[in-house]
């Protein structure tokens, strides 16, 4: 308990993930296209056979990140509460690979051994900086640019923080261009977005999802904020692929972990982390609204694609900007598909290091 309420124990590892080491999937645009054609019947680009051949030597050299605690990783150091393999665990911050998995294959192979990372990678660790209950600290305090690099995600963020995150990324890209002479308009870039969980896990379930479409908590407001981000990216940074990750249904999490020995000392924390999953009424609302939010994310994807009747897939409206959808999490049933070891012992709500390594591979 002293660990939980001692922020000095928290460190945020920006770029600390072993999950992509040695994985050969989707490292070039050509492989990325092949992956989506084969597995999801989604075509990220409009192209003919000649263009596909040209893409064989085209690589994504920059990676950026927007969202909430699913992008950086936090860990508490030297905690006697945790087993050795749990010394790096998520708390108010989950983990995705914060280095760019779409860099040139030869660079990735070298970086695995040298700890050097491709452009866009987060580096090292810093104290956790988070938004809490919808309140965010001053913008200038949220980031440590030397550590965060192109990872704009902030723990605890809701969708209304995306505009601030874009300001940070925009400033960082300008610095990067000046320091390296990179032509950002000529380089392909990959941006991953994971947002919405904190919009849904609110203190008061009955007031969480108002019917008024102008309310800041309404799903259409959530959709607008994501759409605004897409417009900012597409207008300022051509040759960008935005990967939107849909949300995991966490409504059964409390029931699933309640009788597990691993969680016996921390079950009470969920009334603060996501109170809606504590009651049957709240779980029903959370499950339904999670579905609605995922539909909003799908609408954003559809707004930037059109259905190609001849090919039977949705293709982008623009040749130099693409939005793709990652629906993997929507198909996961916590009780059926997820081992309890994937859940952190600290709060039995966020994922453990093992859970995040597995999840990162599934998403990427």
- CA–CA separation, 48 vs 338, rounded Å? 40
pLDDT reading at 62 higher than 50: yes
Task: Report residue 250 as tokens.
Answer: 């966490």
pLDDT reading at 63 higher than 90: no
- CA–CA separation, 257 vs 5, rounded Å? 22
Q: Which of 63-67, 247-251, 344-348 has the lowest mean pLDDT?
A: 63-67
- CA–CA separation, 235 vs 247, rounded Å? 26
Write down how long the chain is. Answer: 364
The whole-model pTM stands at 0.73
Q: What is the percent of the chain with per-residue pLDDT over 90, rounded to a whole number?
A: 11
Q: Which of 150-164, 221-235, 241-255 has the lowest mean pLDDT?
A: 150-164
pLDDT reading at 79 higher than 90: no
Name the phi and psi angles at 349, rounded to 5: -135, -55
pLDDT reading at 359 higher than 80: no
Q: pLDDT higher for 176 or 252?
A: 252
Q: Which of 354, 353, 293, 281 is nearest to 329 (CA)?
A: 293
What mean pLDDT is predicted for residues 6-34? 35
Name the phi and psi angles at 224, rounded to 5: -60, -40
User: Contact 125/147 with Cβ under 8 angstroms?
Assistant: yes
- CA–CA separation, 197 vs 246, rounded Å? 10
Specify the pLDDT at position 71. Answer: 56
Specify the pLDDT at position 186. Answer: 80
What mean pLDDT is predicted for residues 86-100? 33
Average pLDDT, the chain: 68
pLDDT reading at 38 higher than 70: no
pLDDT category at 358 given cuts 50, 70, 90 is low
pLDDT category at 54 given cuts 50, 70, 90 is very low
**Could you read off the pLDDT of 115-159 as tens digits, one per residue?**
334 455 555 566 666 676 666 777 667 777 776 777 777 777 889
Q: Which of 53-62, 212-221, 242-251, 286-295 has the lowest mean pLDDT?
A: 53-62
Q: pLDDT higher for 206 or 352?
A: 352
Q: pLDDT higher for 295 or 281?
A: 295
Q: pLDDT higher for 227 or 119?
A: 227
- CA–CA separation, 335 vs 1, rounded Å? 27
């Amino acid at each position: 308990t002293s660990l939980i309420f001692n922020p000095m124990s928290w460190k945020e590892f920006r770029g600390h993930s072993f999950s992509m080491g040695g994985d050969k999937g989707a490292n070039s645009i050509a492989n990325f296209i092949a992956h989506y054609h084969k597995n999801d019947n989604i075509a990220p680009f409009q192209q003919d056979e000649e263009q596909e051949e040209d893409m064989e030597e085209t690589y994504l050299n920059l990676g950026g990140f927007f969202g909430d605690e699913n992008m950086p990783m936090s860990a508490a150091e030297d905690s006697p509460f945790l087993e050795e393999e749990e010394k790096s665990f998520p708390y108010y911050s989950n983990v995705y690979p914060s280095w760019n998995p779409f860099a040139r294959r030869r660079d990735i192979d070298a970086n695995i051994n040298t700890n050097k990372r491709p452009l866009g990678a987060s580096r090292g660790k810093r104290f956790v900086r988070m938004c809490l209950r919808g309140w965010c600290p001053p913008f200038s305090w949220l980031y440590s640019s030397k550590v965060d690099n192109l990872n704009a995600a902030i723990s605890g963020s809701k969708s209304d923080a995306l505009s601030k995150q874009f300001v940070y990324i925009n400033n960082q890209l300008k610095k990067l261009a000046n320091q390296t002479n990179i032509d950002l308009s000529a380089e392909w870039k990959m941006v991953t977005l994971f947002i919405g969980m904190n919009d849904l896990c609110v203190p008061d379930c009955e007031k969480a999802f108002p019917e008024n479409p102008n309310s800041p908590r309404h799903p259409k407001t959530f959709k607008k904020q994501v759409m605004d981000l897409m417009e900012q990216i597409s207008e300022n940074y051509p040759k960008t692929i935005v990967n939107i990750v849909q949300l995991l249904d966490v409504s059964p999490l409390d029931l699933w972990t309640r009788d597990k020995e691993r969680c016996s000392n921390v079950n009470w924390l969920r009334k603060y982390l996501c109170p809606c999953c504590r009651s049957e009424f709240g779980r029903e609302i959370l499950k339904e609204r999670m579905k609605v939010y995922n539909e909003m994310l799908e609408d954003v994807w559809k707004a930037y694609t059109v259905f190609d009747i001849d090919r039977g897939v949705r293709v982008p409206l623009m040749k130099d900007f693409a939005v793709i959808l990652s629906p993997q999490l929507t198909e996961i049933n916590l009780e059926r598909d997820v081992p309890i070891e994937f859940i952190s012992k600290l709060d039995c709500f966020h994922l453990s290091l093992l859970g995040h390594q597995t999840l990162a591979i599934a998403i990427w």
